[in-house]
Amino acid sequence: MGQRIDFAAVNRAALAALPALLRRWLPDGRQVGREYLARNPLRADRRSGSFKINVRTGRWADFATGDAGGDVISLCAYLAGIGQAEAARSLADMLRVRS
């Protein structure tokens, strides 16, 4: 049985590091006000605009496909094609969050 994941703690740490995470995950994006606009790397997206991440809340959406999520863990899971628990563990390791 795996160790219990403190999703709230991971999300807090990820939100604090979100600008750096976004530059790593979506390097061709740019911040405009409270939103980070990027091309969605999971589809043939030619220009940024429909894939947006709120840098204050972590909420994100691809308005061209309807894919969306409410936090940084769900964004990590979406971009990596993994489950929420695996994404939370990955972020916890990356950000050195301990339960």
User: Are β-strands 60-62 and 51-54 bridged in parallel, bridged antiparallel, or unpaired?
Assistant: antiparallel
Residue 98, pLDDT > 90, answer no
CATH architecture, domain 7-94: Alpha-Beta Complex (3.90)
For the segment 4-60, what is each residue's pLDDT rounded down to a tens digit? 889 999 999 999 999 999 999 999 999 999 999 999 999 988 887 899 999 999 999
Token digits of residue 51:
């894939």
Question: Phi, psi at residue 35, to the nearest 5°?
Answer: -115, 145
2 pLDDT band, cuts 50/70/90, is: low
pLDDT value of position 39 = 94
